[in-house]
Amino acid sequence: MAKKKNDELQFRIIDKIVDQGEKRLKSMFRETLDDLEKQRAQQLSALQKRELEQVITAYQLARDLVLTLVDVKDNIQIRLGH
C-alpha cells in the first residue's frame, strides 16, 4: 500500500516534469537542435565550430534527459495501471 502511494507520488512529480519537459522539447530543444545542426554546414572559424559543438551537445543531453524522464513516467504508468 505504502509502495503504491509512493509510486503515485513519484508519478505526479515526474508527470509534471515530463509535461513541461515535453512541451519544451517540442517547442525549443528539438527545433533549436535542428537549426543548430544546419549551422554545421556554414563557414565557421575553428572557435565557432567548437562552440557550436558545445551547444549541440548541451541540447542533445537536454533531449536525452527529457526522453529518459518520459520512459520513467511510462514505466510507472504501466505499474500503476494508468
Q: Closest CB to another protein among 4 and 55?
A: 55
DSSP conformation letters of 14-80: HHHHHHHHHHHIIIIIHHHHHHHHHHTTS---HHHHHHHHHHHHHHHHHHHHHHHHHHHHHHHHHHH
Q: Is 61 in the site for another protein (CB under 8 A)?
A: yes
Span from 7-15, 52-60, 73-81 in contact with another protein (CB under 8 A): 52-60
The correct pick among 32, 70, 76, 77 for binding another protein (CB under 8 A) is 32
Cα gap 25→12, rounded to integer Å? 19
Q: Closest CB to another protein among 53 and 74?
A: 53
For another protein, the binding residues (CB under 8 A) are 24, 28-29, 32, 36, 44-45, 47-48, 51-52, 54-59, 61-62, 65
